[in-house]
Amino acid sequence: MVIPIIALALLAQDEAPKSLADFETRIDRVSARHLFTEGPVWVPEGYLLFSDVPSNLIQKFVPGKGSTAWREKSNGTNGNAVDADGHLYSCETRTRRVVRTNLKTGAQEVLAERYEGKRFNAPNDICVRKDRNVYFTDPAFGQQSDTRELDFYGIYRLSPKNELSLVAKTAGRPNGVTLAPNGRLLYVANSDERSVLVFDVDRAGAVSNQRVFVSGITGPPDGLRTDEKGNVYVACDDIAIYSSQGKLVKSIKTPEPPRNLAFGDADLMTLYITAYTSVYRVRLPIKGATY
């Protein structure tokens, strides 16, 4: 189903590629009749994986063919990411752990499920740098708060040697997470404080210098992505696009409130958006980041 062309408001031109600021898009609904979609990730072999959290499924969307169940009994998987070696990293909210799956063999291993002997709250979103440094958030929403063992919300790093470290404790609940194109900045959405945080990341993957990247976001920010120019895409009441300097560039209105997003297709110029019951896609004049 194709939704009519939606004119995108030009909110600011400075700090943004003119082609992006002036670009008008149309939104296609590519998958529907889900309960709550999340965690989209493009697999280079040519398909999108995304979570339907209440249905306890990971779905597979192949352009031109539609969606099918890829994994049943997904343990409430929310966020997903892939690395260059063909592994899927997933945040399982029900088992409160981070797992890695070999996409070729299906073999799965648990990477992390506790911090200092206590179970995570409910790992939510995740990203992986090219060198296999992994970053994930651990908030608690709804009933997840009733069984917490940790008395804080956390942002974590898993090193390539699978060593777990705490990046930061946040007063509000951390949510979406992504990296700058060069892998040297880490962005984290703070849903309660309506802001996006940014951290410096060194060559080894260590994180420091927490600060606010943007604040006053309309609606709780959820999923995050960056493009090859360093613009930051935020799923909130709509898709808000910020320049690398934190200037609002454009808003993409979606038929349903977006929860997460991922660049995909062979050229990485399609933005896939998970939004409650459906998955949408938008063609853009810029490629997604690979970090």
At 67-110, the pLDDT tens digits run: 999 999 999 999 999 999 999 999 999 999 999 999 999 999 99
Helix (H) or strand (E) holding 21: helix 18-21
15-24, 154-163, 188-197: least confident range: 15-24
Domain ranges of the chain: 31-245+257-283
pLDDT, average across residues 282-287? 96
Structure confidence at residue 95 (pLDDT): 96
Q: Which amino acid is at 105?
A: T
User: 277 and 35 in contact (C-beta within 8 Å)?
Assistant: yes
SS3 244: coil
Structure confidence at residue 286 (pLDDT): 96
pLDDT for residue 5 is more than 80: no
Tokens linked to 161 = 């040697």
> Residue 19: pLDDT band by 50, 70, 90 thresholds?
confident
> Residue 147: pLDDT band by 50, 70, 90 thresholds?
confident
User: 13 and 21 in contact (C-beta within 8 Å)?
Assistant: yes
pLDDT for residue 151 is more than 80: yes
Q: Which amino acid is at 53?
A: V
Smallest CA-to-CA distance from 54 within 25, 26, 74 is with 74
Q: Reply yes or no on domain 31-245+257-283 having CATH 2.120.10.30.
A: yes
> Residue 13: pLDDT band by 50, 70, 90 thresholds?
very low
State how far the Cα of 275 lies from the Cα of 253, in Å rounded to an integer.
11
> How far apart, in Å, are the Cα atoms of 47 and each of 63, 95, 147, 264, 266?
7, 26, 35, 8, 9
pLDDT for residue 261 is more than 80: yes
Rounded to 5°, the CA angle 71-239-39 comes to: 15
Structure confidence at residue 18 (pLDDT): 54
Going edge to edge, which strands form the sheet with 185-190? 174-179, 185-190, 195-201, 207-214
